[in-house]
Amino acid sequence: MFGRMSESKNNNFYLVLGLILIVAFSRLIPHYPNFTPLCSIALFGAKYFNNRYLAYILPIFSLWLSDIIINNFVLGQYFNEFTLFYSGFYWQYGSFILITLIGRLTLKNISFSKILGVSISSSLIFFVISNFGVWISSSFYPNTLSGLISCYVAAIPFYYGTLGGAIFYSFFLFGSYEFISRRTNKAFSIR
């Protein structure tokens, strides 16, 4: 009995990790601007990684790894040298740490409405924090209230992609996990 429980925990870990890596690399496929799985990865890792350190580290690591590929191979013409971290990365990464925390606090039990709600709130958190970072750390906008408002208004078209990606990938990740884990648990119970 304990052997099967341990095997089941290992299988769940690899399933969660595998799903995160698959959707993290979906960022490399041409997509609508900001229609990415980043908010969803933070929420999904928060729910299914039992180890709280892994819940924060692995989603951020998958983000960083896909960023390295995007910044150096897909968008390499915009960088003068090999880039491990882009300017202002800490605003985006910080927002995902906050999203993970919110996921750990709110996703004890999951439901359709809860996944929808945390997807919407996580996309808003990312929008507010990342665009604040653009405003405060770049020269695109004056460091005034009107500059901040201009920054947020200019980012609204990108928010639609963030919102759509958060909702789509959250339902994909959580749904895939539930479907696969139920199928494998059913297979183990047949033995």
Kindly report the average pLDDT of the chain as a whole number: 89
Q: What is the DSSP string of 70-128?
A: IIIIISGGG-SS--SS-TTHHHHHHHHHHHHHHHHHH-SS--HHHHHHHHHHHHHHHHH
Predicted confidence at residue 38, as pLDDT, reads 93
Domain, as residue range, for 126 = 2-190
Predicted confidence at residue 1, as pLDDT, reads 37
Total number of domains in the chain:
1
Residue range 60-70: mean pLDDT, rounded: 89
Tell whether the model's pLDDT for residue 188 goes beyond 60. Answer: no
Residue range 30-43: mean pLDDT, rounded: 93
Tell whether the model's pLDDT for residue 9 goes beyond 70. Answer: no
Percent of the chain with pLDDT over 90: 66
Specify the CATH number for the domain of residue 125. 1.10.1760
